[in-house]
Chain A
Amino acid sequence: MPSTSATSLLQGTLDVLILKALALEPMHGLGISRRIAQVTGGTFQVKPGSLFPALHRMEEAGWLSAEWGESDRNRRAKFYRLTKAGRKQLKDETDQWARISAAMASALETP
């Protein structure tokens, strides 16, 4: 898997990945970054230069809410959690991705 794909991360893709990463539990920035790398098998390495603007934008859009808490190693960190609007957004985007990937798959499988 070429690592250059990480740079071509589309904005919409990043949003849905962040939403997905937060679907289970609240997380801080580094946690989100690590989780995304983990679930995409290292395809997407989210740098803080993309991560923080995205987090703040999504917070202002009302999809995330943020509060200060303690990390595993007793560090003060800002934790993000999905809001109700964020869950709805995740569902919408998941459906959309499913449609697109199904369409792409059938297009590419056609001999």
Chain B
Amino acid sequence: MTFWRPMRMLWRNLARRRRVEEDLDEELRSYRAMLEDEGLSRREALMEMDGMERIKEEVRDVRLGATLGQMAAELRQSLRGLRRNPGLTVVGTAMLALGMGASTVVFSIFYSALMQPLPFRDVGRVVELAETRLARGIGEAAFSEANFWDVRAQNHSFSDVATYHYDEANLTGAGPAEKVTQIEVSPEFFATLGVSPVLGRDFSSQADHGGQDAVVILGNRYWRTRFGADPGILGKTLRLDERAFTVVGVLPPGEPWIDEQTYVPFPHRPDADRSSWEFSVIARLAPGVTPQSARADLQRIAGTLARAYPKDDAGIGFHVEPSSTWVAGATTRRALWVLLAAVTFLLLIACLNLANLLLARGMSRQREIAVRTALGASRGRLVRFVMMESLLLSGFGAVLGLALAYGALHAIQALEIRDIPRLADAGLHPWVLGFAVATAILTGVLSGMAPAWQAPVSRIAAALREGDRQTGSRGQGRLRAVLVTGEVALSFLLLVGAGLLIRSFTQLMNVNRGFQTENRLLFAVTFPGPYRQNGAGKHFLDRFFEDLAAMPQVIAAGAVNQRPVEGLNFGMGIDAAPPRQAGRRAPWAGWRVVSPGYFRAVGLPLLKGRWFDERDRPVWAERGQPEPDRRVVISERLAKLIFPQEDPIGKRVALWKGQGLMEADVVGVVGDMRERGLASDPTLTVYLPYGRNALPGEFVVHTRGNPMAVMPAIRAAITALDANLPISDVRSFDEVVHRSVGQQRFQTLLLGVFSGLALLLATTGIYGVLSYAMSRRTAEIGLRVALGASGGSILRMAMVQGMRPVLAGLGLGAVGAWWLSRYVGSLLFGVKALDAVTYCAVAALLAITALAACYVPGRRAMRIDPAVALRIE
């Protein structure tokens, strides 16, 4: 009742307006008639009524929804105004659409990468655990298997602790052999995360982890793409590495952790290994336990482990990582924040520009507004009237901007940038739409503010007197100059950001990589279990290398256990034996198992000694065989570090120092390479020979001509050797490098586009303001010319007037960029955030563009014909 009655009234007032009005008319008429019945004359009755229309107006004002009705009228009026002024409407809408489209794109990427909640129940209680060896400078490492089981058994802080071990398997028996990821998960892994299968069941800890039945759970994406989302998948059998697994469940979609292809149970083994760090560990905090107390609990366990297993666990500690950082790392976060800031600046520039346009138009409306004021429109109503227009424009802009954003988002997703998390999920989600609506309103209000403020409420008389002549006040000119200053300053910020990123990206692409990518083909072959027995794998590799060497298109070919740039970086402590520098911690170097041909295939130069050859054997002893003669090749930086003053060839080094005793001879020194990607320093690397028990599966082939063209022949050669071997990740080395800098490319591209738009908008702003100012001064300039001023002096005067706000903007922008530079420093490679070259180039670019924008109206002013100008006056 209390709710419905006003609603009904509102409906009646708005929808049955005519009936309500007729009703009021009749009521007043009958009142007057009754007055006359009482003996008043018609005139007296009318006097008593004191103006029928005013009474009606007052009744209308108290009605529910009165404001709504007025606003509808104003809306119609504004729409009419915009239609009469298509230039302003089109330009304004286009500007805002660009700004809003850009900001919507960035926000939707930002939202899906950083804000969208993880698909896990009560995700704030879930943490990731990592081992540390702080004394050795290792702040975050994977768990060893045995340490995981010990933490799981001994902690008092977590309701569940579970592990995730990455592995790969060959899927056979259904079409061509295929490499799939096969994640081994401990009991309750999915329960710890807080997800349940959407189809089928979770692993049950006793039966499945006991290992009696081979069961597998599929990731959602894999289920959809490989099995066409077949609901009848449960109970079917998959052959993974020649073993039959029964499908018992399908996971829900989402990242991270649950988007791999297959998951199998990881059983508890009493003889678990303690030395190899391979296991990711997640845990769910027990109710009432804080992360701080969990850390203390883990510290206690670390002490116990360090005492019990000094060989492997000396100096062990644990690191607790909240789930909020799982999806995006610090650099990605920073990059997305910078882009969001950049796009906000761009939107602000669009607002300033629109405000400028509306101000100019406001001149021609001064009279209309003055008339309204004189007729008693309140200040609030006037402001609403002026703002209605900018709100309408921003509404149009938002609609068009959303369409632009939709297209741009698809284009960006087609780039398949790996380093932007959940990019494929980015879209016009409700939150994103909410953002767009909020932005539209804010934009409309911001750009309407200046014109509304300038509405001549207090100078009605002057405005009316000035009649039709379009003039602007001095204050208005100053306000517009301030807007230009703002635009230039914001553009300066964007251009500096883009300039820094472009310079950084160029440096990155031109950095000395150490390896060669030209005409190099990369692909992976996954060897199933039997290849690791009786030298089958070595036999295969040697025959395959023979086949490759026989191909005329192949210059060199080799294999490595981890793909350069994209692969993992397994490391070891290594030092000269005996150490040349006492008391220093052994350097940490990445190790790679390589075939002899790898160095030539990847283009690493041999600096000293020799490459590996067929005499060299893996450093690991085969079961039942005597210890081998160990030989290694080391990278240049490593050689300089551990043998500062000697020729390292023939010297002995200790491998896996601190974890076991294994000594080897150095037979060669090769160049350094940026193994972990272009932005990381060249790795200290130790190369180990391949062999029967060390099978590298990542191949590098140096080809003549287009590397991808050689792939069919290589495929045929592999199939001829074993048709069941899956070949995967076929890419040219160039593409691998290209992909590895995806995020840098993405942020450089976006910021470049944004700053280009900013420059364009600022230029039109500068041009618009000066041409307007010059047209206002036509008479004055005509007078000056008539009095003998030269064209040059007029041009100079115009340029000075136009450039003054620009120079102020440059100064402000430089200060702002200096202040903001601290936030982009971590995104830059090889460039300082306060790079003088960039700042000067940006200032010059802006100044030259502004000069050009001022030149056109300046030139027009120069050509003013005094006779014509004075006649206008």
Contacts of B26 in A (CB 8 A): 76, 78
A99 at the B interface (CB under 8 A)? no
Q: Confirm or deny: A53 has a beta carbon within 8 angstroms of a beta carbon on chain B.
A: yes
Contact A29 B31 (CB under 8 A): yes
Partner of B59, one of A53, A62, A78: A53
Q: Is B549 an interface residue (CB 8 A)?
A: no
Neighbouring A residues of B28 by C-beta, 8 Å: 48, 52
Residue pair B31, A47 in contact (C-beta under 8 Å): no
Closest to A73 in B: B37
On whether A60 and B50 interact (CB within 8 A), knowing A52-B27, A52-B55, the answer reads no
Q: Shortest beta-carbon distance, A69 to chain B, in Å? A: 11
Contact with A along B25-55 (1 / 0, CB 8 A): 0111011011101000000000011110011
A60 to B64, CA, bound (A): 7
| Contact B6 A49, beta carbon cutoff 8 Å | no
Cβ contacts under 8 Å, B64 to chain A: 60
B35 to chain A, nearest CB (A): 7
Complex Cα–Cα for A30 and B28 (A): 10
- Tell me which residues across on chain B come within 8 A of A53, comparing CB atoms: 55, 58-59, 61-62
B62 / chain A contacts, CB cutoff of 8 Å = 53, 56-57, 60
**Choice from A56, A57, A75 contacting B30 with Cβ under 8 Å:** A75
- Alpha-carbon distance A30/B31, docked complex (angstroms): 6
Q: How far is the CA of A49 from the CA of B46 in the complex (A)?
A: 12
Place the interface of chain B in its size category.
Answer: 20 to 34
In contact, B35 and A56 (Cβ under 8 angstroms): no
Complex interface: chain A residues within 8 A of B59 (CB): 52-53, 56
Query: In the complex, are the beta carbons of A60 and B9 less than 8 A apart?
Result: yes
Q: Which residues of chain B are near A48, meaning CB under 8 Å?
A: 28, 31, 48-50, 55
Is A23 part of the binding interface, using a Cβ–Cβ cutoff of 8 Å?
no
Residues of B within 8 A of A28 (CB): 30-31, 34
Q: Is the CB of A47 within 8 A of B50?
A: yes
* Residue in chain A with minimal CB distance to B5: A62
Whether B58 contacts A49 by the Cβ 8 Å rule is: yes
Query: Do residues A78 and B61 form an inter-chain contact, with CB atoms below 8 A?
Result: no
Chain A proximity of B11: nearest CB distance (Å) = 12
Is B30 within 8 A of A49, CB to CB? no
A6 to B: closest C-beta gap in Å: 13
In the complex, B63 has a CB within 8 A of chain A: yes
Main secondary structure of the interface of B (DSSP, over half): helix
Q: Mark B1-23, 1 if CB is under 8 A from A, else 0.
A: 01001100100000000000001
Q: In the complex, what residues of A have CB within 8 A of residue B33's CB?
A: 75
Check A77–B34 contact: CB distance below 8 A: yes
Sort chain A's interface into a size bin: 10 to 19
A56 → chain B closest CB, angstroms = 5
- Complex CA gap A109/B517 in Å reads 105
- Identity of the chain A residue whose Cβ is nearest the Cβ of B34 in the assembled complex: A30
Q: Is the CB–CB distance between B30 and A77 below 8 Å?
A: yes
A71 within 8 A of B: yes
A57 proximity list for chain B (CB < 8 A): 62
Interface string of A30-73 (1 = CB under 8 A from B): 10000000000000000111001100110010100000000101
Nearest B residue to A33, CB-CB:
B31
Given contacts A52-B55, A56-B59, contact A71 B6 (CB under 8 A): no
* A56 vs B57: C-alpha distance when bound (angstroms): 12
Report whether A76 and B30 are in contact in the complex, using a CB–CB cutoff of 8 Å: yes
Closest to A76 in B: B30
* Separation of A33 and B6 alpha carbons in the complex (Å): 26
Across the interface, name the chain A residue whose C-beta is closest to B61: A53
Q: What's the Cα separation between A48 and B660 when bound, in Å?
A: 104
Q: How far is the CB of A53 from chain B (nearest CB, A)?
A: 5
Q: Beyond A60-B9, A75-B37, is A29–B61 a contact (Cβ under 8 Å)?
A: no
CB distance from A51 to the nearest CB of B (A): 9
CB distance from A97 to the nearest CB of B (A): 23
Q: Whole-angstrom distance between the alpha carbons of A53 and B27 in the complex?
A: 12
Give the residues from 72 to 107 in chain A that come closer than 8 angstroms, CB to CB, to chain B: 73, 75-78
Complex alpha-carbon distance, A82 and B515, angstroms: 93
Are A56 and B34 in touch, CB under 8 angstroms?
no
Q: Which residue of A lies closest to B20 (CB)?
A: A56
Cα distance A56–B5 in the bound complex, in angstroms: 14
> By CB atoms of chain A within 10 A, which of B23, B54, B62 has the most?
B62
Q: A29–B37 contact, CB under 8 A?
A: no
B274 to chain A, nearest CB (A): 79
**Cα–Cα distance between A75 and B34 once the two chains are bound (Å):** 8
Chain A contacts of B24 at CB under 8 A? 52
For A50, the closest partner residue in chain B by CB is B58
How far does the alpha carbon of A52 sit from the alpha carbon of B26 in the complex, in Å? 13
Most buried by B among A48, A76, A77: A48
How many angstroms from the CA of A62 to the CA of B1 in the assembled complex? 10
Q: List B contacts of A60 (CB < 8 A).
A: 6, 9, 62-64
Nearest CB in chain B: distance from A80 CB, A: 10
- Which residues of chain B are within 8 angstroms of A47 by Cβ–Cβ distance? 48, 50
| A78-B31 Cα distance, complex, nearest whole Å | 9
- Which residues B588-644 have CB closer than 8 A to chain A? none
Which B residues lie within 8 Å of A30 (CB)? 31, 34-35
Q: Which of B62-91 contact A (CB under 8 A)?
A: 62-64
Q: Let me know if A71 and B63 touch, CB within 8 A.
A: no
Give bound CA distance, A82 to B256, whole Å. 67
A49's partner among B34, B35, B50 (CB-CB below 8 A) is B50
CB distance from B45 to the nearest CB of A (A): 10
Complex alpha-carbon distance, A62 and B48, angstroms: 28
Q: How far is the CB of B52 from chain A (nearest CB, A)?
A: 9
Q: How near does chain A come to B577, taking the closest CB pair, in angstroms? A: 96
Name the B residues within 8 Å of A77 (CB-CB): 27, 30-31, 34
**Minimum CB–CB distance for A85 against chain B, Å:** 9
Cβ-defined contact, B54 with A49, below 8 A: yes
CB distance from B613 to the nearest CB of A (A): 99
Q: Which residues of B contact A62 (CB under 8 A)?
A: 2, 5
Among B5, B9, B27, B55, point to the contact of A78 (Cβ < 8 A): B27
> Once bound together, how far apart are the Cα atoms of A73 and B35, in whole Å?
12
A71 touches B34 (CB 8 A): yes
CB-CB under 8 A from A75, the residues of chain B are: 30, 33-34, 37
B interface residues with partner A (beta carbon < 8 Å): 2, 5-6, 9, 23-24, 26-28, 30-31, 33-35, 37, 48-51, 54-55, 58-59, 61-64
Q: A49-B55, A62-B5 are in contact. List 5 more A-B contacts (CB 8 A).
A: A48-B31, A49-B50, A52-B27, A71-B30, A78-B30
What are some 18 contacts across the A-B interface (CB < 8 A)?
A28-B34, A29-B27, A30-B34, A47-B48, A49-B51, A49-B54, A52-B58, A56-B59, A56-B62, A56-B63, A60-B63, A75-B30, A75-B33, A75-B34, A77-B27, A77-B30, A78-B26, A78-B30
Q: Closest 5 interchain pairs by CB?
A: A57-B62, A53-B58, A78-B27, A30-B34, A53-B62
